[in-house]
Amino acid sequence: MMVKALIFDMDGTLIDSEEKYITAWQKAVDLHQFNLTHQDLLGICGISAKEEIDYLYKRLKSMDDVFLAIESSKEIFLTMAKQGFVSLKPGIRELIDYCKQKGIATALATSTYQPLARKYIDFIEGYHDDDFDVLIFGDMATHAKPDPEIFNLAQEALKIPKEDCLILEDSHYGIMAANHAGIKVAWIKDMVDLSLRNDIHMDMTFDTATELQIWLETYE
C-alpha cells in the first residue's frame, strides 16, 4: 500500500486526551456527587456532543445536571491542559517529523469545534498548526463523525486520491466515519477496546504511532 497522506484524528489519536477526559469527568462527578460509574464515563469517549447529552440524560435524569456535568468536566480538562498535563500521544511527534522528511502529506480532521480545540491544543507541547497541510475542525462541517464529511473535506483539501490516504483513529465513530468515506483506516489503540465491534472495519491495527511509523518505513 502506497501512503501519500495521513489524516489524523485529534482526541485520543494525536493527543493523549481520553484518559485526561476521564480524569476530568471523574473529578466533576466527585465534586457534584453525580451517580455515574467509571464504566459510564468510558461510554462518553468518542461520541458526538448531541449523543453525549442524550447519553448523560438517560443516567442523570436531569438536563440541568447534564449541562452542569459537561461544563464542569470541560473546565477541569481545560485547566489540566493549561497546566501541561495533556500531551501528544507517544510517537506522534516522531511520526509527523517522518512525514515531513518523506514528503507524506498530513491533515488534522476532528469533530471538535475550533474555538474549543484552540483552548487546549495551543497549550500542548510539540503541537504546531504548520505540521499539517490541512486543518479541518467540526465547525467547518455540517455533520460530525460517524458521518464521513470531515474526512472527505480533509481528503479533498489534500487533493490526494482516497486510495493513497490513510486515516488514523482511535474511536468507534471515527473508524465508522472512515469506513463511510471509503478511506483506509488504522486503529491506534486507546482506552476503549474496539476489537469485538462487528459494525466497523480496521485495515490495520497498531498499539502506538511508533508502530505505524515502523510499518511505513517497511514500504519506502
- Give the model's pLDDT for residue 142: 93
Residues 100 and 47 in one domain: no
pLDDT single digits (tens) 99-134: 999 999 999 999 989 998 998 898 999 999 999 999
Same domain, 176 and 77: no
Q: Same domain for 120 and 214?
A: yes
Choose one of 36, 57, 82: the last residue of a domain: 82
What tens digit of pLDDT does each residue of 12-43 get?
999 998 888 999 999 999 999 999 998 899 88
Q: In this structure, are residues 95 and 217 in contact, taking their beta carbons and an 8 Å threshold?
A: no
Q: Which residue has the cell 460509574?
A: 37
For residue 169, the surrounding DSSP H or E stretch is strand 165-169
CA distance 32 to 54: 19
- Residues 91 and 193 grouped into a single domain: yes
CA–CA gap between residue 116 and residue 11 (Å, rounded): 12
H or E segment to which residue 188 belongs: strand 184-188
The last residue of a domain, from among 56, 82, 108: 82
Of 65, 82, 99, the residue at which a domain comes to its end is 82
Which domain, by its residues, includes 146? 5-16+87-218
Four-point Cα dihedral 114, 118, 122, 126, nearest 10: -30
Q: Locate all alpha helices (DSSP H) within the chain, ordered by sequence.
A: 18-32, 38-42, 49-60, 63-82, 92-102, 114-121, 149-158, 172-181, 209-218
Number of domains into which the chain is organized: 2
Residue 220 scores a pLDDT above 80: no
Do residue 106 and residue 209 come from a single domain? yes
CATH of the domain at 112: 3.40.50.1000
- Is there a single domain that holds both residue 53 and residue 159? no
Distance CA 146, CA 9 (A): 12
Whether residue 90 has a cis bond before it, omega within 30° of 0: no
The torsion region of residue 176 among left (phi > 0), alpha (psi -120 to 50) and beta comes to alpha
Mean per-residue pLDDT, 75-81: 92
